[in-house]
Amino acid sequence: MQVPAISNVQSNNQTFQGRINIVNDLSYNPCKYVRKAYDSISKELCDKPFDLFIKQDFKGDSIVFVAQKMQHAGRKNKPFIKNIITNAQALDQGDSTTDLYAAVARETINSYNDKFASKTVNVKDFFKNIGNKFLKSLQDEDEI
């Protein structure tokens, strides 16, 4: 049995592709609006390290947009951002309801990105800063 070699390019190439997940089922009108807004939402989410979950709350008669990492899905103690569109808001918009869905999804994505995802530390910059501090302390004669 021969094992194929894994190239360095494949193992080091890490790209994020956030996905749109529809939880359970959507009724006719919300499904129609999500389908129309899908392309604009997916462009916003394509390079993000988290997913967008869309779910219909039949009790509250609303649509819920939740931005959260896939491995944290459904957990309340993990970071997430949640925005809600009520059916009354959607009916008030009329023909521009698709724009409302896209705008709320964009707001959810941007809020999560600003609050949680953008705070990740770049490892390369981290070690570069440590190396610079170490080099500076070595060059400084009074430090030692």
Tell me the one-letter amino acid at 93.
Answer: Q
| pLDDT of 11 | 44
- Structure pTM? 0.65
Give the three-state DSSP class for 62. strand
Check if CATH label 3.30.160 holds for domain 16-123: yes
Does 114 score more than 50 pLDDT? yes
Residue 119 CA to residue 79 CA, distance in Å, equals 12
Tell me the one-letter amino acid at 64.
Answer: V
Domain ranges (residues) in the chain: 16-123
Does 14 score more than 80 pLDDT? no
Q: How far is CA 49 from the centre of its chain?
A: 5
| Residue 12: pLDDT band with limits 50, 70, 90 | very low
pLDDT, tens digit, 9 for 90 and up, residues 26-69: 888 888 888 888 888 888 888 888 888 889 888 878 889 988 88
